[in-house]
A and B are shown apart, each in its own frame.
Chain A
């Protein structure tokens, strides 16, 4: 049955299956008690990182624009959703319902910020775009650090100076407390919800890629002049890809913030460190390769923990593995290896069919397949 399907459909099914199998395996391990607390604590962040990596791959791999501010959108999603959940902690009693609304709000707000930033930024190209997105990411993080938000019987209070300037009644409750952030967000995230959100993210991104809009986005990536010449509106589709990417990062932010008791916008969790880390997942997983992004996110998040046993050599092994992954992904030898052992063979059964040019054609084919990394 798998054989008769379009290769993109087949590849997508493998991706979904991989996530589901990983989930089942992990759940089994957790229920039999063979997983350390540390790793258990990483399960929700893992889902959030995977969603971030997939969504950034939409901007970097599919749209072909280097963005270094992805953590900024995550930050927006994390804060608005956490604030919403804290405000409504008692008024919406159903935890799941409240979380779902929070996630939707996170997606919408991050999407809007994505559009606002995309308007000026997507006029730029290459390095310039990377630098400006980096700056916007930092700006978002720093803005979050000066926001004070509180609620009392009179409604919502907001200021950017200090908590006492909120002028709240005595029954007032501070929601966002400047650099201290948000404390006491309901703990609504769990591994199952994380995996479901990851699957939804995959569904959106993979279906987008295999549709008219996705082709338009990739056409712009490959050759914007040619894309325009056949009537594709560059601005529209760049904005589309960028804002969907931002929305999904917002969802990851909501998942992330509802897993923490204290949420503060530090440079570690929402600054460029995070943006770069997500980019590393994307690059090592293969630019444009959605499944690879998830694999890289999982391996690179779990590795430092798994290597604790050999603590002294931890970073050394980590670095070596990074290099190995890179070689496996992009060096000609690595590509040949993958071809030989079947990873790439699935994708290109047409090579030898072309009898007249079989030899050279096949060779080109193999090389090309590796470059795309699918």
Chain B
């Protein structure tokens, strides 16, 4: 792996790490398997790209993207809690609806941001080159978002959210409206995912209706890899595990893509297979360790 592809993997790891944090919030905290993310990541990208081309400040466009993501997540959660549609199905419905919506927002399958202002401009303005500025900036943003989530999960509201995922009967009898909390939590998760999508679009210079494919798998892989490496003891550890898992995941992919055995090498279309194998490995690692008495 070259220095250049290493920095690229770090950059991807941190920016997709914010998405992984959102996946952690639904899958682990709320126990709500949410596939909306495959639609809300490009939603954030579309909203931000269209806003920027309309002359809106790129930082403001991030907030707009997060707001749109929140609404998408809230729709999924309303379908589940109020209309009693199974969570998995509810999220798939929102996800496919978002595909159409994203194309409407962009008025086409993609929007180019080449030559447009982005949130990385202030760093580039300091004379930093793009492939150093991006990983640095995204690391900063990812750590900040993680810190905010950790803080939130320790507040009264955040604790009620944790309890909602753990034991709904308990927290209802403590006076919490679990429906509202699930709507808020799934909304918050998708706000993070859309925020991540907006950063990705600005970084790669385009938003695309198909850029969300496989988001959920990448997110899950990150969460699970992170848990395997860092463990799940405590909110602090579990939150950082999502980010670190995302970085490890992207590094593993970059590594796999750089390998060569004679005439054979992996291509980007092999990524899904690699990801699936990685998740299986991470899921079984604890059991294998036990079985063979390692660690």
| A joins B in a complex | no
